[in-house]
């Protein structure tokens, strides 16, 4: 498996299934949700990661949850992706940003807040160009950065 810093999502761009809806708005096919969704820069990053998980890691699409609602401190939020193990335990929480959004402390704080209610052991943050993967220790409120995605051993 490639080091996280060597994952080149752009190399998967030709696998995106782009389309226009009846109003001429651009859409992209989501193979997990099995439908076309509105194209935004963040959505393209999400779809590139989905393609990577499906093709490079041969992940079963049933083990990927896409944009689901969660409630944190009484407020509704939506996570980008959660990857589940073969035993259906949440394994990797994924927060994605558009390529022009810098990965800053606020993004790490956001995923840590999401994880308070979810208790997922690993997280991935990416804007399509920069990727950070880490183990989350909620008790110590600390991250241990990883060089590789942890999901290969658990799927």
Q: Write the CATH number of the domain with boundaries 4-153.
A: 3.90.1570.30
Q: What is the predicted pLDDT for the residue at 135?
A: 93
Q: What is the predicted pLDDT for the residue at 136?
A: 85
pTM of structure? 0.92
Kindly compute the dihedral angle of the four CA atoms of residues 72, 73, 77, 82, in this order, to the nearest 10 degrees. Answer: -10
Residues 56 and 68: their CA atoms lie apart, in Å, by 24
pLDDT exceeds cutoff 80 at 21: yes
What is the band of 101 on the pLDDT scale with cuts at 50, 70, 90?
very high
Q: Dihedrals φ, ψ of 10, to 5°?
A: -60, -30
Longest dimension (CA), the chain: 50
Q: What is the predicted pLDDT for the residue at 152?
A: 61
Of 113, 111, 137, which is closest to residue 124 (Cα–Cα)?
111
Q: What is the predicted pLDDT for the residue at 154?
A: 53
Q: What is the predicted pLDDT for the residue at 73?
A: 77
Q: Dihedrals φ, ψ of 2, to 5°?
A: -70, 145
């Amino acid at each position: 498996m490639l080091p996280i810093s060597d994952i080149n999502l752009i190399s998967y761009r030709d696998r995106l299934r782009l389309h226009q809806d009846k109003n001429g708005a651009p859409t992209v096919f989501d193979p997990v949700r099995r439908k076309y969704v509105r194209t935004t820069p963040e959505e393209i990053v999400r779809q590139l990661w989905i393609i990577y998980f499906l093709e490079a890691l041969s992940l079963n699409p049933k083990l990927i949850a896409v944009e689901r609602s969660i409630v944190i401190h009484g407020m509704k939020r939506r996570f980008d992706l959660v990857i589940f193990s073969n035993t259906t335990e949440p394994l990797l929480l994924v927060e994605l940003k558009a390529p022009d959004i810098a990965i800053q402390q606020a993004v790490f704080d956001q995923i840590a807040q999401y994880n308070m209610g979810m208790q997922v052991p690993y997280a991935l943050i990416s804007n399509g160009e920069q990727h950070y993967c880490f183990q989350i220790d909620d008790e110590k409120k600390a991250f241990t950065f990883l060089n590789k995605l942890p999901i290969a051993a658990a799927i």
